[in-house]
Amino acid sequence: MDAYNYIKEAIIHGKFEPGMRLAEETLAKELNLSRTPIREAIKQLEAEGLVVPLKRGVGVRNFTKEDIKEIYDLRSLLESYAAGQAAINRTEEDLIELQTANELYDKVIHDNSLRDLTSIQAIVHTNSRFHEAIVSSAKNKHLYFHISKVVVVPMVFRSFYWYTDFQLQQSLEVHKIIFEAIKNKEPERARIAMHEHIFQGRDNVLKHLDDIKISHLFKEEAK
């Protein structure tokens, strides 16, 4: 695995945690590479917003609650628009891909008994496949670029660790509603369903952050 993909995967999976400083020399030794490809990888990740400059070097970006709200607001606007356009412009081939993605998503969330890295990766992959199929169905060549800039992969990945079985099933049911709206050429219904779907994800992330803070507070008080 090259430097870029190694560092990105480590950030997504939580090996490199938010706020952690990334030292070029340490990464170069770990990957048995020179510092040049490490430096290039970090520049690319900085452009993607996954790492940020520190006083010395760079660190993994730590998202605030306000960041999360703003990111999900933009996602809602862009992806609900994509869903509405997909309902107008989709082809029969698009519908096959959407249905296939949903069937795979259904399978992996019901095979998620271990809640391990492999099963979470499968859930994230199939969920992304459904959302990307919607963007493709919208037939707007600019949409994917803009949506890719506001879908923060580490945040999405970690959010699926926090989903309960009920929430995963709820997510699947909304996928089905969106699919039916696109299939039946109902753009407003597709738009509204996607809007709510994105905001459900936002609320789950924000609630988990609040729970973490409360948990840390109790631990501090117990000392």
Domain boundaries, the chain: 3-60, 65-220
CB-based contact 143:78 (threshold 8 Å): yes
pTM (2 decimals)?
Answer: 0.80
SS3 of residue 22 by DSSP: strand
- Reported confidence tier of residue 118, pLDDT bands at 50, 70, 90: confident
- Tell me which architecture the domain covering 3-60 has in CATH: Orthogonal Bundle (1.10)
Q: Taking the C-alpha atoms of 192, 194, 195 and 200 in order, what is their torsion angle to the nearest 10 degrees? A: 130
Write out the CATH class of domain 65-220: mainly alpha
Using CB atoms within 10 A of its CB, is residue 51 exposed (0-12), middle (13-18) or buried (19+)?
buried
SS3 of residue 113 by DSSP: coil
Per-residue pLDDT tens for 147-201? 988 887 777 777 887 888 889 999 999 999 999 999 999 999 999 999 999 999 9
Of 61, 62, 59, 50, give the one whose Cα is nearest residue 22.
Answer: 59
- Structure token pair of residue 78: 């862009």
Q: Is the pLDDT of residue 117 over 80?
A: no
CB-based contact 38:62 (threshold 8 Å): no
CB-based contact 49:58 (threshold 8 Å): no
What's residue 1's pLDDT?
Answer: 72
